Amino acid sequence: MKCGTSALFHYLNGTVPRSPKAAKEPGASWTPPKFSNDQQFLNGTPASIEYCNRFFSLPDEQRRFHPGIIGSIVTKEVHFFDQEPQQVHSKLPQYFAKFAGVNMSADDPAAGQCSYPRQLGLSSSSAPAMVRMEATVMYMPSRTAAGLVKEILPNTRLVALLREPATRALSSINMVIQRGDFAELKTLNRSSPEYSKVWQWVVVRELRQEMAAVNACLARVDSAAPVRRQVDQMDECMLAGQPKLSERVLDIHLGLYALHLERWLSYFAPEQLLIWSTKAFKEAPWHHMQQLAEWLGLDPSKSKRRGDFLKMHKRSYPDASLPQGFVQELAEFYAPHNERLFVLLEQRGYAAVAAQLRAAWPQELAATIEKLEQQQPQQQEQMQPQQQQQQETY
C-alpha cells in the first residue's frame, strides 16, 4: 500500500485502474471490460481468449509490457491468500478463474500446467510461456499468506517494492483520509483552512497511536528467541485475537519491512524474491522491467512497452505542514527497523539492494519534508492563531 504496486501492475498489464477519474488521466490505456462473474473465465471461454487477444491490436505503448505476462482479470488485488486457511483451500478453483485463459477442466494451474499459451501462439517450449500475476499488498504483512503461497504455489516468484517508510506512512494515512474514513473531515471543504487544521490533527493523532501500539507489541517480543518466533510473537500481539490486522495500525505496521521479509524469506529462497527500491523503479522503469523479464525466464527482446511510467494515484497534501519535527519523529521511529532490514538484506544476498536503499531513503525523506515545508510560510501568514492553538494541543 502506497509503495507503487498499482503502477507496477498496470505498467506490466497495459491497463489502468477501473475508476472514471483514473481512466481520464493523460496516457491512460485500455481498461479491460467488466464481466459479471468469474464463471465467464472458466473452461477457456471466448471471453477469456478475447481479454488478451485485444491487446495485440493496440499500439505498442498500450500493450502489456511483455506478451508472456498478464494480470488477474478482476482487480490487481485479489485478496486470496490473506484469507483464513480453510477458505483458501476450499476456493482454489475460484482463485485460478481470476486469471485469463485457465481451463479448469483440463489445466492444473498449481502445477504450472495451462493450455492458454498455445491459444496465444506462444511457444510451449519456452519456460515459462505465460506468467500470470496479481498484486495484493496485504499479503506482505499477513501472518498466514507466506505459508499458504508456499504450500499451493511453491515455485511462485515474488516482487517487493520498498518505499521510505516514514514517507509511505504519511502517504498511506493521507489516502485513508481522502477515502473518507474519518468523520471529522467528511463535511469539511478540502480547500478550507479548517480542513487543513483538522487534517494535521488527525494525521498526528493516528500515526502516534499506531506507533505506540507497535512499540507496545515490540516490547513483548523475546529478543533472545529465534527470528521466526519473534515474528510470530509480534503477529500474535498485533492481531490481538482478530483474524486480520486492524486498518488502524497498518499505516505504521506495513513499514516494518524487516519483520515482513523475515517471514517471507523463511519460506522462499532469495532467488524467488525480487526486491526493488520504489525510488529507483520510478527513475528507471524500463531497466527494471528488463531485469524482471530476465528474472522470470522470459525473452527480454519480446518486451513491447517503452512508454513513460504512469503514476496511478496522484494525491496531494492539503495546504498545511505538519507540526515541526513530526516527520523526523516518524523517521526516528523507523530508524532501528530500517537498520534491521539493511542487515537482513546483506545477510540474504541483497547487499546491492541494501546499499541502494541506504542511499535512496534519506533523499526520499528530505523530499517529503521539503514538500510539506514549502507551504509553511503561506500557512504562517494565513493561520498563525490556529497554529498556535494547534501547537498547544500537541
Domain ranges of the chain: 5-393
Yes or no: say if 246 and 213 are a contact pair by the CB < 8 Å rule: no
Q: How many angstroms separate the CA atoms of 371 and 251, rounded? A: 20
Q: How far apart are CA 312 and CA 363, in angstroms?
A: 22
Cα angle: 38, vertex 43, 45; to 5 degrees: 75
Per-residue pLDDT at 4? 73
Q: Give the per-residue pLDDT at 162.
A: 95
How is residue 21 written as a grid cell? 477519474
Residue 117 and residue 102 in contact, taking contact as beta carbons nearer than 8 Å? no
What does the pLDDT read at residue 61? 41
Q: How many Å apart are CA 200 and CA 383, to the nearest integer?
A: 13
> Which residues on neighbouring strands pair with residue 274, listed in sequence order?
159
How far apart (Å, rounded) are the C-alpha atoms in residues 152 and 244?
21
Residues 47 and 40: their CA atoms lie apart, in Å, by: 7
Residue 113 DSSP SS3: strand
Strands (E), the chain: 69-71, 131-133, 158-162, 273-277
- What dihedral do alpha carbons 79, 82, 83, 89 form, nearest 10°? 90
pTM of the prediction? 0.79
Question: Is the CB of residue 302 less than 8 Å from the CB of residue 66?
Answer: yes
Angle between helix axes 326-347 and 193-218 (nearest 10 degrees) is 40
Gap between the Cα atoms of 61 and 305, Å rounded: 5
| Per-residue cell: 305 | 512497452
User: What is the full per-residue pLDDT of the chain (394 aa) written as tens digits?
Assistant: 566 777 788 777 776 554 434 333 333 333 444 433 444 333 344 444 454 455 445 554 456 778 778 888 767 888 999 998 999 988 888 888 787 666 666 666 666 666 554 444 444 444 555 788 898 989 999 989 999 999 988 889 999 999 999 999 999 999 889 888 899 998 898 888 899 899 999 999 999 999 999 999 999 999 899 888 999 899 889 987 777 777 778 899 999 999 999 999 999 999 999 999 999 988 888 888 889 989 998 888 888 755 555 555 556 788 667 888 899 999 999 999 999 999 999 999 999 999 999 999 999 999 888 888 644 444 444 434 343 333 332 2
Helix H or strand E encompassing 227 = helix 227-239
Q: How far is Cα 289 from Cα 357, in angstroms, rounded to an integer?
A: 19
Query: In sequence order, what are the beta bridge partners of 131?
Result: 69
For domain 5-393, the question of CATH label 2.60.40.1120 is answered with no
